[in-house]
A and B are shown apart, each in its own frame.
Chain A
Amino acid sequence: MNRWIVTTALALALAATMSAAEAKNTLRWSSQGDALTADPHAQNEGPTNSSSLNIHDPLVRRNAKADLEPSLAVSWKVVNPTTWEFKLRPGVKFHDGTPFTADDVVFTIQRAKSATSDFKGYIDSVVEAKKIDELTVHLVTKDPNPILPAQLTQISIMSKAWAEKHKVERPQDFKNKEETFAIRNANGTGPFILKKRDPGIETVMERNPAWWGWKTPQGGGNIDEIVYKPIKSATTRLAALLSGEIDFVLDVQPQDVEKIKQNAKLKVLQTPQIRAIFYGLEVGRSELRSSDVKGKNPFADKRVRQAVAMAIDTQAIKRVVMRGFSSPAGIVTSPGVHGYTAALDKAGAVNLDGAKALMKQAGYAAGFTVKLDCPNDRYNNDEQICQATVGMLGKIGIKVQLDSQSKSLHFPKIQKRDTDFYLLGWGVPTQDSHYVFNYLYHSKGSWNATGYSSAKMDELTLKMAGEIDLKKRDALIAEAWALAKAEAVYVPLHHQVILWGMVKNMDMPITVDDAPNFRWAKMTGAAPAPKKTN
């Protein structure tokens, strides 16, 4: 009897020491673009937001199926047409130990609306944030806003006390010669704590054991440490994944998928993304800047625009350029966005003869020249898509001169309306069509560089923002899409497919917004001896 007790005790002790000696789960990953800052309200950009949202929590989040779920707000409802009430989660603490209260929410909304914040666009309908009690907040909007919760998913909640202590009540201002504390430091309520941030070189996050969500559906992951190192060159990034120096790559090139699949230790996850890739054509000006046609604007003629759409073979692009990883589109927004229908999205087939006939009808049988602006480091194979387009348009007489540049030079061109013909991709974080119309179709839309201006479209866009009756609202949206399709201002290409490459023993659901949610990530199987972090 004694022997059994001793043996069992020894076995248990052994097991205890073994699990204590078990290596911690470190996730090393890479992508092309680092977060621009740790300040959650300074730059509204994909990688920056997904990094902030691992350290902070928003009020409302999306789950793996892209439905809204409670985060720091446990419930929300409309109390009067212009006021939303949010009930907050109790017992939550920031990483520095201070408690989370309604004051922090009010402070965050004000910060996100301040002059130097890049997040004003999400909440410009909100005029005031009111604290009702320690765990209740009212957000007051100018007009009724039925989709306010969906607009809050990208807004990280910051600690008021921490911000005041480190003098970062406002997001960084360019005039500051000193970098603000918030660029490299963060204090959120989220699943991971920012341990080290070396911009462009390395970012390290550690598990926050006190996070409220680990045992809820929002959590479930077992990662102890995240080490992120950006790698600009796609080949070097792939080499690092193949050689085992990193565990996860966010932006795998379509042509490298085969190579990863051939590796016994790796796998590829894919999902259609809510991001449509399309061309914008200048229709507003009387003459194109870069064309040899003087006195008139070929793109202003709808037949020319339709000819362009007919000449571009999106199936061939999918087959050859994207290696099958895209889905040809008929409108400039993707499945999963409220207001999208498959009927609208039917992509036209390539029709060179029809295109040539239209060109002839419009009086451009001899063709014309035009310059195409393209980014070369933002969307999957963006430069190659543009190059293929040059070839295709050449067949109907349009001689395209391609100018492909980094996104930081390309996007300002669009925002300054300094382009005749450009490639753009548009994601929809709010998953509602209004976001698309507001930015791309409204005559004053800040990303509408086509010069398209229609009073009817403007009216529809404005109305759908404030219409509470969901049936009426859907009708408005449908009408707007019909108008958009009839006008054919943009030439849709395809919806992107996200490709993630990772080690087989890692488990993390892929999401349609291309943001890695490490709170779900699990490393399964025997944790190997801590590999040398590179």
Chain B
Amino acid sequence: MLAFLVNRLLQAIGVMLVVALVAFVISHYVGDPINNMVGQEATHDDRDRIRKELGLDDPAPIQFGRFVAAALQGNFGISYQMKRPVSRLIVERLPATLELVFVAAVFALVLGVIGGVFTGLKRNAFSSRAIMTISLVGVSLPTFVIGILLIYIFAVSPKSCTEGITLLGALLMDCDDLAAIALPSFGRGDTVKLGSWETGFLTKEGWRHLILPGITLGLFNLTLILRLVRSEMLEVLRTDYIKFARARGLTDRAVHFGHALKNTLVPVITVAGIQIGTLIAFSTITETVFQWPGMGFLFIQAVQFADVPIMTAYLVMAALIFVAINFTVDVLYAAIDPRLRIERVAAGR
């Protein structure tokens, strides 16, 4: 077990070094850092002087070492665009992204598992097939289309009460009531600062603002988990031990939820864990559509404006999160899966 952990840890460090190297190459050789920092009136002499002061003429390995040392202390330089330390920016935006990702992940996991179990158990029912078809549409719709659609249907239309789609709603309830339940279309709402973590979980407005972006972000994962759970369920239900359990006379309920579900969930948990990485990646799009002040939005702006310090810092931050998640998932998986345990013991002898 220890050897396994150490192995994985070394791999994680290796990945981080590679990422740091890539980040370093990008930050020092892409574009001209000097040009982006000084005003347009700076003369050639000014630029040379600044070059020397920032140590941009030193040999590459030394610069890389400096870069890594600075990165370890959380210093990624100053954003070209906002003229503030990048690390400060990222720390400010991190809670927003993490909370959004958390809500989307829970949404996708809970509904995905329920839907997957349902369609797995009742494979040929019409509702099952309907859900499967709709889930396919969910996979085919790009995130930004879903976001725009949700804003249009749930945020804007209820307020004007004359749009085609809300005429239906208007039949059901009063125009003003309809306007009152409309969901917000941008931002985080009222947030509460706990230390340096600004959370939207403690206010009603904060929760209302999480709904549309959370659904948008989580929809893709929901369909993924739903289909995964379904196919796992179908596979498990064909196995011998399930047949034996049924032959023994166990109730459907005991068979399905006591035996089948447990075995279905193991791969699902690991996939869901890895999917958090994807969620963080796709949050870039969702945050852009909903003007959600998180890391992803910061990154997109940095790419558009060629703000290299933010791009490199985000790359390193994101890699760190992914590596940490994968490491945790590996460890958990190894701990849970008895087959791996036995293998390792056998190999260790």
Contact partner, B293, options A179, A183, A201, A412, Cβ 8 Å: A201
Binary interface encoding of chain A residues 175-214 relative to chain B, with 1 for a CB under 8 A from any of its CBs, else 0: 1011100010000000000000011110000000000000
Bound state CA distance, A37 and B82, in angstroms?
Answer: 8
B301: chain A residues at CB < 8 Å are 200, 232
Given A239-B155, A243-B159, A175-B53 contact (CB < 8 Å): yes
Binary interface encoding of chain B residues 24-55 relative to chain A, with 1 for a CB under 8 A from any of its CBs, else 0: 00000000000101111100000000100100
Asked whether A2 is an interface residue with its Cβ less than 8 Å from the other chain, the reply is no
Interface residues on A, range: 35 or more
Contact partner, A243, options B39, B156, B298, Cβ 8 Å: B156
B288: chain A residues at CB < 8 Å are 232-233
Bound state CA distance, A235 and B291, in angstroms?
Answer: 11
CB nearest neighbor in B for A176: B78
Closest beta carbon of chain A to B41's beta carbon, Å: 7
Binary interface encoding of chain B residues 84-96 relative to chain A, with 1 for a CB under 8 A from any of its CBs, else 0: 1100100010000
CB nearest neighbor in B for A229: B187
Contact partner, B160, options A200, A233, A263, Cβ 8 Å: A263
Contact partner, A415, options B40, B184, B290, Cβ 8 Å: B40
A412: chain B residues at CB < 8 Å are 35, 40
CB nearest neighbor in A for B290: A236
Binary interface encoding of chain A residues 3-38 relative to chain B, with 1 for a CB under 8 A from any of its CBs, else 0: 000000000000000000000000000000000110
Asked whether A403 is an interface residue with its Cβ less than 8 Å from the other chain, the reply is no
Closest beta carbon of chain A to B149's beta carbon, Å: 12
A232 & B291 in contact (Cβ 8 Å cutoff): yes
Contact partner, B185, options A183, A236, A446, Cβ 8 Å: A236
B-contacting residues, A491-534, CB 8 Å:
532-534
A-contacting residues, B55-94, CB 8 Å:
75, 78, 81-85, 88, 92
Asked whether B289 is an interface residue with its Cβ less than 8 Å from the other chain, the reply is yes
Bound state CA distance, A416 and B41, in angstroms?
Answer: 10
A199 & B305 in contact (Cβ 8 Å cutoff): no
Given A177-B75, A231-B291, A409-B305, A236-B184 contact (CB < 8 Å): no
B85: chain A residues at CB < 8 Å are 177-179
Residue among A199, A263, A409 with most chain B CB within 10 A: A199
CB nearest neighbor in A for B305: A408
Asked whether B182 is an interface residue with its Cβ less than 8 Å from the other chain, the reply is yes
B83 & A174 in contact (Cβ 8 Å cutoff): yes
Bound state CA distance, A242 and B156, in angstroms?
Answer: 7
A236: chain B residues at CB < 8 Å are 151, 185-186, 289-291
Asked whether A345 is an interface residue with its Cβ less than 8 Å from the other chain, the reply is no
CB nearest neighbor in A for B291: A231
Contact partner, A36, options B82, B92, B186, B291, Cβ 8 Å: B82
A446 & B41 in contact (Cβ 8 Å cutoff): yes
Bound state CA distance, A415 and B78, in angstroms?
Answer: 23
Bound state CA distance, A201 and B292, in angstroms?
Answer: 9
Closest beta carbon of chain B to A41's beta carbon, Å: 12
Given A239-B155, A534-B205, A231-B189 contact (CB < 8 Å): no
CB nearest neighbor in B for A121: B41
22 contacts between A and B (CB under 8 A): A174-B37, A174-B83, A175-B50, A179-B83, A179-B85, A179-B88, A183-B83, A232-B301, A233-B289, A233-B291, A239-B151, A240-B186, A243-B159, A244-B179, A245-B185, A245-B186, A408-B81, A408-B305, A409-B306, A412-B40, A415-B40, A532-B189
Listed from nearest, the 8 A-B pairs whose CB atoms lie closest are A201-B293, A174-B37, A415-B40, A243-B159, A239-B185, A408-B305, A231-B291, A239-B156
Question: Apart from A174-B37, A175-B53, what 17 extra A-B contacts exist at CB < 8 Å?
Answer: A36-B83, A118-B39, A177-B85, A179-B84, A179-B85, A199-B82, A232-B301, A239-B185, A239-B186, A242-B159, A243-B184, A244-B159, A245-B184, A409-B305, A446-B40, A532-B190, A533-B190
